[in-house]
Structure formats: C-alpha cells, structure tokens
Amino acid sequence: MKLPFPLAAHALLAALEERGYRFVTPTPATHARVIARRDQARDLRDALGWSLPFSATTIDPEIVDLLRGADLLEARGDMLVSNVRVSSLGNHLLLHSAYPTTARDAVFFGPDSYRFAGFLEAELPKLSRREHLVDFGAGSGVGAIVAAKHADGVSLLDINPNALRLARANALHAEISFRISGAERWRFLNAGALQAVEGAIDCIIANPPYIADPAHRAYRDGGGMHGGELSMAWAREAAARLQRGGAFLLYTGSAIIGGEDKLKAALFEALEGFDVAYREIDPDVFGEELERQDYADVDRIAVVGLVAVKR
Ligand SMILES: C[S@@+](CC[C@H](N)C(=O)[O-])C[C@H]1O[C@@H](n2cnc3c(N)ncnc32)[C@H](O)[C@@H]1O
C-alpha cells in the first residue's frame, strides 16, 4: 500500500538518520564549483546533497526504494536523479528542492536558512513562551521547526504549495524524531498574507525573499527597493496584526547605498509603537548581484535581524 507523502518522506528521513546522513547546503555558487568536479554520484551525499545523477546500484537499495515510494525519483537517461535534496541542520534533516533551484516553485533552503535558524535560536529564548507563532514565508519549514519548542501552536504560511508539501513532511519528521511539545498544533496555510491566519497571533517570524530577482522566483524575489519591498509589506502586516506584547522577528537583507541602510529607517517607521532591536548579522552577502545594472548604486547587501515587540 502506498503511504501518504509526509509518511513516505518521514520513512526516508528516518532511514537517512539511521545511516548518520549529514549534508550542509552551501550557496549555489559553491554548489556549482563542487559538482563541476564529477558528473555522477559516488554515495548518498552526492545523490541527495549534491543532486548528482546516480545508478540504482551505487546507492543503498533501501534508500532507492524509499525515494521511489515517495515519488522523489526521476530518470535521466539510464541514470536516476532525486528531485529533492536532504540537508541537515544540527540533528534535523530537511527536504528541499534539488539543485539547481531554477523552477519558479523551487523550495528554498540554504545558508540564509542556517543564519535564520541561528537568529531564532538566539532571540526566541529571550521572549516569553508564545501561544501562536506564525512562520511567514515558511519554505521548507525550517524556522517553524526551530521555533516550535517556544510555542503552543505554529502556523506555516507560504504562497508555494510545493513548499508546504515539503514543510509538512519535514515538520512530521521533526515531531516524530524530536517529540517537539505542542507540535500537534501545526497548521499549513497556502496563502500570501496574515489575513489567512485565524485567531490571535503573538509571534511572527519571517525570512522573506530579499533580492530583486529578474526571474521573479517566489523564494528569491523581494520586489522593489532592491528587494526590500516584501520585507516592508510583511512588517506593516505584522504591525497591524500583533497585539500588545506580540513579537515580530525578521531576518532579511538590506541593500546598503552610500553607506546608508534605508530599509532600517523604513522598518523603524513602519513599526512605530514597538520596541525595536536591529543588528547586522552578516555585512556582505550575494556580492555577485552587485554586477547587475539594477544594483549599480549598491555598496553591499547586508543580512539584518530585527526583533520588534509591541508596547
Ligand atoms: C527566502 S525563502 C525562506 C524560506 C524559509 N523560511 C527559510 O528560511 O529557509 C522565502 C519564502 O517566502 C515565500 N513567499 C514569497 N512571497 C510570499 C508571500 N507573499 N506570502 C507568503 N510566502 C511568500 C516563498 O515561497 C519562500 O518559501
């Protein structure tokens, strides 16, 4: 009998865990450099981390069966290829899209997800326990999974149904493997605004797209203001929705122009009535974007973290 996708995916992740599988996803540029060294997989990490094609005899047959059972395999000539990657974050294993993530509905997970998780792990313990936390733009669900132990209920919101499909599997796996308390209250919402979330919300976490992406990929395109537009829109939504004591934790990128952080000023204005802490987490990411004409006036893209609590 065929298992529903989240259970089939959980069985795969559990089998990988048993085998001690680990893979840390690097930037796409690093990924491209590494896979240029070989054209087919030698082991599980090559197949499920580096997204290299493999022959069914190279890889553990139980893993091939589990991939097949979860409909995660495609044929490429006489080889097989996995249409997901499996990455590790500490002890967690998460599914996300295979490399290269060129499809418009690709499910993002990368160095930003690691930094976002680190930001949440540093900031959430400083707040009181939350009743209902929303991960806005949840992607693979990494933020929600890291935050779940600090909340009674967690809602994951994303416009990409493919992201929610993988997030559901990742959350189920995290729940079974780590017995995250309160995790029976996961909700998955295919929507692009907080309006879709019912009931009171007392924490919103977000790692929105923050690059001006000419290909308009949902996981990457932050719109105008050199990609800052979506961060602003989400901050305004959070400001309108949160009640006293409600917290907004935003991890995003800011294009620094002439030494000035215009996004910072705009965020502080949008979050009037909140106590706001803001810091640079990384002074310089995605430097290659600066070669593009629409970034001609930008000095650098900084990754920033904002914690805003409504007074
Ligand atoms: C940079 S990815 C971050 C994913 C995940 N939170 C992480 O840290 O790995 C941004 C996510 O926001 C989603 N997204 C983009 N626009 C959205 C919108 N208007 N409403 C909800 N989600 C959106 C994308 O589909 C994508 O999954």
The predicted structure's pLDDT at residue 182: 47
Residue 52 near residue 40, CB atoms below 8 Å: yes
Q: What is the pLDDT of residue 296?
A: 95
Cβ of 286 less than 6 Å from ligand 1:
no
Indicate the helix (H) or strand (E) that contains 136: strand 130-136
Q: Which residues, in sequence order, are bridge partners of residue 304? A: 252, 280
State the DSSP string of 227-262: HTHHHHHHHHHHHHH--TT-EEEEEEEEEEETTEEH
CB atoms within 10 A of CB 247: 24
Q: Are residues 216 and 256 in the same domain?
A: yes
Q: For 172-199, what is the mean pLDDT?
A: 82
pLDDT band with cut points at 50, 70 and 90 for residue 180: low
One domain for residues 47 and 134:
no
- pTM of the entire predicted model: 0.96
CA distance 264 to 302: 11
Q: Which atom of ligand 1 is nearest to the CA of 105?
A: 25
Structurally, how many domains does the chain consist of?
Answer: 2
Q: Is residue 169 part of a domain?
A: yes
Residue 102 lies in a domain: no
Res 183: pLDDT: 45
Same domain flag for 62 and 158: no
- Is residue 85 located within the same domain as residue 161? no
Q: Whose alpha carbon is nearest atom 16 of ligand 1?
A: 218
Distance 158 CA to ligand 1 centre (A): 6
**Residue 297 sits in which domain range?**
111-310
Looking at the fold, whether 79 and 15 belong to one and the same domain comes out as yes
Q: What is the pLDDT of residue 219?
A: 87
Beta strands in 39-129 (DSSP E): 73-76, 79-82, 84-89, 92-97
Q: How confident is the model at residue 179 (pLDDT cuts 50, 70, 90)?
A: low
- Burial letters for 78-100: b for 16+ Cβ neighbours within 10 Å, e otherwise? ebbbbebbbbbbeebbbbbbbbe
Q: Are residues 134 and 20 in the same domain?
A: no
Phi-psi region of 27 (alpha: psi -120 to 50; beta: other; left: phi over 0): beta
